[in-house]
Amino acid sequence: MKKCKSFHWLIGVTVILLLSSFMCATAVAKEIKIGVIFDYTGPYAAGGSEPGAVGTKIAIDMINERGGVEGYKLKATYADAQSKVEVAINEAERLISQEKVDLLLGFYSSGQCVPIAAKVDAQKKFMWANICVSSAVFKNRNLKYVFRAQVHSDTYGLVSPDFIAHYSKERFGKDPKDVRVAIIYEDGPYGAGIASGNEVGAKAHGMKIVLKEGYAATAPDLSSLVTKLKRARPDVILHTGYNPDITLLLRQGRELGLKFKALIGHGAGYGQIDKLVATFGDDVDYLYNVDPVAAQLLDPKTLAPGIGDLTAEMLKRYKAITGAKEVPPHTSSGFNQTWVFLTDVLPRAIKKYGGYDPDSLRKAAMDTDIPEGGTIQGYGVKFYPPGNPMSGQSMRATPVVMQYVKGQTKIAWPISLQTINPVLPLPAGHPYAAKK
């Protein structure tokens, strides 16, 4: 009888152990591993990567707090690209091969995004790009497993000449063909891509391009470029750069007496109004920035139900985490792109296509059809199909032109979204204002 009891006890223990093992296995199985790559250190961190990373994490945290996605918890592993292309590539490979993540998400720098997208796609892994905007990520590459709901650089570049052309006669007293434009840019994929769009847009309006020149984002001195700008006498400067080089250009420009009627930046460092104001104070007033809109600037009544509340929650959390008073556009982009993926693409992959493997995610992404007003940044999401030169890029994402006034961000273009009558040209007394 004792042997029988011992045997039954042994069986009971064995069953418990098996059940425990099964339960642990089940728990592990109900987890989706996401590799998140941003620049948490280096010059790109202050140039917009860090706010984008915070927005991304807020979205992941909120989804987990709501129970995850279709019963799966999200396990995010965060990696620092250190503002270096090779580090970003190595971190992407580490996350895939060692951490065994199910997908990659994030990315701020286009210089990193271009090579990583190619490598990830070649391995048939899945990548969702949040912030990087270079059209070169997708153009004529026929990527199958890389997607981006974000605006791309060709659209950035075209918006600013359109804006100037609309107001040139009224505000400058010139036809668009008589407007003198200088195009300057950091010479990586990001800056070069937007500059190319600037050139196409300016030429379409017949504008006079008096200078087009790139420079290294890490350049220690931009005085020679400032001198060329002074000689070229542009009415409008179209500039694409990161925070350190923008700071250098504006500082040396003021020291050397650079004047213009308008300066339009294009995302990156120009999206960091808090840092610009901290460095230059009122000198930032009336400068422009082209970017996906900061969500808090939109009227919630024009958006889908619940979007306004979602924006409010994101803003509250960002301010609590960072202590910032102004929330930059990159935060909205990081949050928005992540939210679209986690609430639209990922659930559909699991429910309709049976899982979250790269092929299921790819099919689910191609089904995405979010109309205008369906995201916190206003634009919709629909991806160009395979065979299109921009396959994997959203065709519905659009930027806006914003103007900085007294430390606040206002929408200047398009007219349908305006929250300010644009101040153009720079008013008399502004340190960079050209004489009329």
Same fold, 31-151+304-366 and 154-291+406-417: yes
User: Residue 209: which pLDDT band, with cuts at 50, 70 and 90?
Assistant: very high
Sequence-separated (6 or more) residues with CB below 8 Å from residue 257 = 230
Choice among 44-53, 63-72, 79-88 with the minimum mean pLDDT: 44-53
| Cα–Cα separations (whole angstroms), residue 358 to 35, 84, 116, 353, 417 | 14, 27, 16, 11, 37
pLDDT of 394 above 90: yes
Distance CA 21, CA 360 (A): 28
Give, rounded to a whole angstrom, the gap between the first and last alpha carbons of the chain: 107
The structure's pTM equals: 0.81
The pLDDT of residue 29: 52
The yes or no reply on domain 31-151+304-366 and CATH 3.80.10.10 is no
pLDDT tens across 330-371, in order?
Answer: 999 999 999 999 999 999 999 999 999 999 999 999 999 999
User: Residue 417: which pLDDT band, with cuts at 50, 70 and 90?
Assistant: confident
The pLDDT of residue 268: 82
Mean per-residue pLDDT, 321-337: 93
The pLDDT of residue 271: 82
Distance CA 376, CA 395 (A): 17
Architecture of domain 154-291+406-417: 3-Layer(aba) Sandwich (3.40)
If one counts every other C-beta atom within 10 angstroms of the C-beta of residue 144, the result is 17
Residue whose structure tokens are 């901290």 = 278
Please tell me which residue, 313 or 29, carries the higher pLDDT value: 313
**Please, what sign has the CA dihedral across residues 70, 348, 383, 373?**
negative
Mean per-residue pLDDT, 8-25: 46
pLDDT tens across 272-307, in order?
Answer: 788 888 889 999 999 999 998 889 999 999 899 999
pLDDT of 11 above 50: no
Distance CA 355, CA 361 (A): 8
Boundaries of every domain in the chain = 31-151+304-366, 154-291+406-417
